[in-house]
């Protein structure tokens, strides 16, 4: 059998395979360069950029939990100026689509960031972080359907690249927010961001991270993420990027079957810098094993009898 085709089309972006890095898990790519060749991925998603640099939250910022981790980094980043000047030129050398993840404190800030990135060579799409649980105001957008619609609309008005809101799982019904994002003009949706959680050290009676609450990621959240991708894929006719605990090619295939067109690998990269590449190779191996010639045929191909 010939090699399976892994290429997918995501809102007009041509990806040579469906695997991306997740925002906040590959720095600005240069940190990973000694360990993994990110140019072999479908796309790279950059850590959240804000208008001004942010120093982030006090330590401790992370804690391990069963099959997962909590984090509360607080969007530490160099700010849009330094990103454009110092980081983007290095990212462009990868020659893969770059999704720039942005976060603002207001609708105007999101639009301002999008304007600054408009027409900049190397910026293939914008991923909107409307769901960071670790900064004041960050969750409000992602949990409020009308704010979500407003932010997406404001960014769409000034942006010519695909706009991809990243949805929060910390809602009662994610399809409501997904619909609102679609109404606002979203070209695709990323889901899910981290689940709010708490970890406590019973001996010291202290929280394990400084801000008490943090975002849960890793294999522990995979079933929740799969459920949400599946729900949204049946509700909103937009391409989806599945995120949540993906460590292997088979994990990624589960997300494709649930309705995702592409996937992001996040926490697994902390465990092994080559994890995104291994997921890519794992998808190829799955396709070869099951006689799948084109990975696109897996998207939404879940065979559920009990619906």
First to last CA, the chain: 34
The CB-of-26 to another protein minimum distance in angstroms stands at 6
139-151 per-residue burial string, b: 16 or more CB within 10 A, e: under 16: bebbbbbebbbbb
Residue count, binding to another protein (CB under 8 A): 35
Annotation says 287 is catalytic: no
The CB-of-265 to another protein minimum distance in angstroms stands at 12
- If the CB atoms of residues 76 and 213 are measured against another protein, the closer one turns out to be 76
Residue 49 DSSP symbol: B
Question: How far apart are alpha carbons 297 and 220 in whole angstroms?
Answer: 28
| Residue of 8, 26, 139, 253 that binds another protein (CB under 8 A) | 26
Find the length of the chain: 307
| Residue of 9, 12, 31, 39 that binds another protein (CB under 8 A) | 31
Residue 29 DSSP symbol: S
**Angle at CA of residue 219, ends 8 and 265, nearest 5°:** 30
Q: From residue 136, give the alpha-carbon distance in Å to each of 91, 104, 119, 194.
A: 29, 11, 30, 16
The CB-of-271 to another protein minimum distance in angstroms stands at 6
Binders of another protein in range 231-290 (CB under 8 A)? 247, 267, 269-273
Question: How far apart are alpha carbons 89 and 232 in whole angstroms?
Answer: 35
- Point out which span in 25-33, 158-166, 168-176, 235-243 binds another protein (CB under 8 A): 25-33
Examine residue 219 and tell whether it contacts another protein (CB under 8 A). Answer: yes
Q: Which of 132, 180, 195, 220 is catalytic?
A: 132
Cβ atoms of 158 and 132 closer than 8 Å: no
Examine residue 55 and tell whether it contacts another protein (CB under 8 A). Answer: yes
Examine residue 22 and tell whether it contacts another protein (CB under 8 A). Answer: no
The CB-of-6 to another protein minimum distance in angstroms stands at 25
- Point out which span in 108-116, 180-188, 218-226, 281-289 binds another protein (CB under 8 A): 218-226
Instruction: Look up tokens 């999704």; give the residue.
Output: 99
| Residue of 15, 46, 62, 123 that binds another protein (CB under 8 A) | 62
Question: How far apart are alpha carbons 260 and 242 in whole angstroms?
Answer: 5
Which tokens belong to 32? 């990973």
Residues that bind another protein (CB under 8 A): 24-27, 31-32, 35, 53, 55-64, 66-69, 71, 73, 76, 218-220, 247, 267, 269-273
Kindly list the catalytic residues. 132
């Amino acid at each position: 059998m010939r090699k399976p085709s892994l290429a997918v089309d995501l809102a007009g972006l041509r990806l040579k395979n469906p695997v991306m890095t997740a925002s906040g898990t590959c720095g600005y790519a240069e940190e990973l360069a000694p360990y993994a060749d990110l140019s072999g991925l479908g796309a790279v998603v950059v850590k959240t950029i804000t208008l001004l640099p942010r120093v982030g939250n006090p330590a401790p910022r992370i804690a391990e939990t069963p099959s997962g981790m909590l984090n509360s980094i607080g969007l530490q980043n160099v700010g849009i100026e330094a990103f454009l000047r110092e980081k983007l030129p290095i990212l462009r050398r990868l020659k893969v689509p770059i999704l720039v993840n942005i976060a603002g404190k207001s609708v105007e800030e999101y639009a301002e960031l999008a304007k600054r990135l408009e027409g900049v060579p190397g910026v293939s799409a914008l991923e909107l972080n409307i769901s960071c649980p670790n900064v004041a105001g960050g969750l409000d957008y992602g949990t409020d359907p009308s704010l979500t619609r407003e932010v997406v609309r404001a960014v769409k008005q000034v942006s010519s690249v695909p706009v991809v809101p990243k949805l929060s799982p910390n809602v009662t019904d994610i399809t409501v927010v997904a619909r609102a994002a679609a109404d606002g003009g979203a070209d695709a949706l990323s889901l899910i961001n981290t689940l709010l959680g708490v970890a406590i050290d019973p001996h010291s009676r202290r929280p394990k991270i400084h801000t008490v609450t943090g975002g849960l990621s890793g294999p522990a959240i995979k079933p929740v993420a799969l459920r949400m991708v599946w729900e949204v894929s049946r509700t909103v006719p937009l391409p989806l990027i599945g995120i949540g605990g993906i460590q292997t090619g088979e994990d990624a295939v589960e997300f494709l079957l649930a309705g995702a067109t592409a996937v992001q690998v996040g926490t697994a990269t902390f465990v092994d810098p080559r994890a995104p590449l291994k997921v890519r190779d794992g998808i190829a191996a799955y396709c070869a094993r099951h006689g799948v010639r084109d990975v696109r045929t897996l998207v939404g191909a879940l065979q559920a009898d009990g619906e």
